[in-house]
């Protein structure tokens, strides 16, 4: 069995296929039903390559929200990618810039979650091995996402209305979020985002998501800062 970092990453990320394919199909179908042609559907998935932001932007477009609101909300949903990048920087920062650019383009929740877990808990890897592992996690996620989106866009209304493929959306994010709730800051940010988003669900154009995202990040950062400032029990300076 090939034990190269790339194939290790590929195998570790392979289970996400079970939700990525239905997720992509759902988006392709929804986008087609919203009036987008196949080129626009694929442009959405290839250029944005962010399922949550794509669904949010699509819904706002269906609701005839102003373009500024669509863009701002999609950017707010994807702000987590900036935090992912900061988290991966110590592990991939030594890689040449153009390879990091490719890594940035392919950064999705699944590749980040699997990679950071491997970097922080597994045996040490060289920078080249870490990058190979990262791209291994990307392969079973991003390319099937393109294909599934295309298939959904082509099928469009031909998909039976009762086919329960939309289950992939919540399952994907549950599978991603739960393993990442490792600290009080993570739990606080998640809790604040849920509570605020539900409390502000009546705001037009899903503006509650923007407020929830900002408050969640502020709450998580505040808790992390307070935890870092607390002296540890084994600190001799206490």
- Domains of the chain: total: 2
**Same domain, yes or no: 151 and 204:** no
Specify if 188 maps to a domain. Answer: yes
**Same domain, yes or no: 93 and 134:** yes
In eight-state DSSP terms, residue 44 is: I
Specify if 237 maps to a domain. Answer: no
**Same domain, yes or no: 173 and 186:** no
Task: Find the domain containing 32 and state its range.
Answer: 5-180
Specify if 21 maps to a domain. Answer: yes
**Same domain, yes or no: 42 and 147:** yes
Token readout for 171 is 């399952």
pLDDT at 118: 93
Specify if 45 maps to a domain. Answer: yes
**Same domain, yes or no: 191 and 77:** no
**Same domain, yes or no: 77 and 62:** yes
pLDDT at 172: 56
pLDDT at 41: 92
**Same domain, yes or no: 164 and 207:** no
pLDDT at 159: 62
Q: Which residues contact 181 (CB under 8 A, 6 or more apart)?
A: 187, 190
**Same domain, yes or no: 104 and 153:** yes
pLDDT per 10-residue tile (average), the chain, 238 residues? 84 90 84 87 90 83 86 82 87 93 92 92 93 96 94 76 58 60 80 90 79 84 81 54
pLDDT at 1: 45
pTM assigned to the model: 0.74
Specify if 172 maps to a domain. Answer: yes
SS3 at position 203:
coil
> DSSP alpha helices (H): ranges in the chain?
5-13, 17-33, 38-43, 51-62, 67-77, 80-92, 97-105, 109-121, 127-155, 168-180, 184-199, 207-229
pLDDT at 34: 81
Specify if 238 maps to a domain. Answer: no
Specify if 137 maps to a domain. Answer: yes
**Same domain, yes or no: 99 and 215:** no
**Same domain, yes or no: 44 and 134:** yes
| Listed residues 180, 200, 219: the one ending a domain | 180
**Same domain, yes or no: 23 and 137:** yes
Specify if 170 maps to a domain. Answer: yes
**Same domain, yes or no: 15 and 123:** yes
């Amino acid at each position: 069995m090939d034990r190269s970092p790339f194939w290790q990453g590929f195998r570790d990320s392979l289970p996400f296929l079970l939700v990525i394919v239905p997720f992509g199909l759902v988006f392709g179908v929804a986008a087609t039903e919203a009036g987008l042609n196949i080129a626009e559907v694929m442009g959405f998935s290839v250029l944005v390559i962010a399922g949550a932001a794509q669904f949010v932007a699509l819904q706002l477009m269906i609701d005839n929200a102003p373009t500024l609101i669509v863009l701002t909300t999609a950017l707010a949903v994807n702000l987590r990618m900036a935090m992912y990048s900061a988290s991966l920087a110590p592990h991939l920062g030594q890689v040449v810039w153009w390879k990091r650019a490719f890594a940035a383009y392919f950064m999705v929740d699944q590749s980040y979650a699997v990679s950071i877990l491997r970097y922080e808990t597994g045996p040490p890897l060289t920078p080249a091995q870490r990058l190979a592992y990262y791209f291994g996690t990307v392969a079973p996620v991003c390319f099937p996402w393109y294909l599934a989106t295309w298939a959904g866009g082509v099928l469009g209304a031909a998909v039976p209305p009762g086919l329960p493929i939309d289950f992939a959306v919540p399952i994907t994010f549950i599978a991603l979020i739960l393993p990442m709730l490792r600290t009080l800051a993570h739990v606080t940010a998640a809790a604040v985002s849920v509570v605020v988003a539900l409390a502000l669900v009546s705001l037009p154009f899903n503006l509650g998501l923007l407020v929830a995202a900002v408050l969640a990040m502020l709450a998580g950062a505040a808790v992390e800062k307070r935890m870092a400032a607390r002296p540890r029990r084994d600190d001799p300076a206490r």
